[in-house]
Structure 1
C-alpha cells in the first residue's frame, strides 16, 4: 500500500532548439499491492511514451523516483508556474 502520493510533472522548452518536452511520473499501487513507478514523456501536446517499473517495496520505487527527478532537474526540466494547467 502506498503511504504517500508521489507525482510530478515537469517541462523543458527552448524556442531556439524547437524543444517542447514534458516528463511525468507517479507511484501507484497495482492490483497485487506492489508499488509501480509510472513514467510518461514526450513532446508537449503529443501522447508520448510510457514505461512502468514494478517494485515489491515502496521504498525502492521512491528511490528511483527521486533519482529520476534529480536527473530531470539538472537537464533543465522545471515545474509549471502556478496558475498554468
Structure 2
C-alpha cells in the first residue's frame, strides 16, 4: 500500500491483474523472407511476413514488399486470435510461392 501522507490511493501498486485484462501473448513469433529474382526481366523483389504482438497483446501480421535494396511498401493486419493471423500468413506464403518466390529465411522461435 502507498503509505505516504497526502496520497489518496489505498491500493498496492504491486497487485497483479486487478483489471481482469487477459495476458495475451503469441505462442511463437513468425518471420518469413522470400525473394524472386529474374535477371532477364530485371526483376529483384522481396516479400516479408511477420506475426508480432501489439502493445495490447493482440496479434498483428506485418507485410512488406518491394524491390530488393529498397524499404518497399508495408501493410498491417490486426487480429483478435493468433490462429487467424497464422492462417493468413500461410495463405500469403502459398500465394508468393505460386508466383515464383523462393524462401530465403523463415523463423518460428518458441518462447522460453
Question: What TM-score, normalized by structure 1, do the two folds share?
Answer: 0.92
Dislocated runs of 4+, deviation >4 Å:
none
Structure number, greater radius of gyration: 2
The aligned counterpart of 1:62 is 86
Q: Any unmatched runs of 5+ in structure 1? A: none
1:21 matched to 2:45: yes
Gaps of 5+ in 2: 1-24, 106-112
Q: How many residues align?
A: 81
The range that moved more, 34-43 or 72-81, is 72-81
Q: Is structure 2 residue 33 aligned with structure 1 residue 33?
A: no
RMSD: 1.1
Instruction: Answer 1 or 2: which has greater helix percent.
Output: 1
Normalising by structure 2, report the TM-score: 0.70
SS of the counterpart of 2:104?
coil
Counterpart CA distance in 2 for 1:5 and 1:29 is: 8
Task: Quote the Cα distance in structure 1 between the aligned partners of 2:94 and 2:34.
Answer: 12
Is the strand fraction higher in 1 or 2? 1
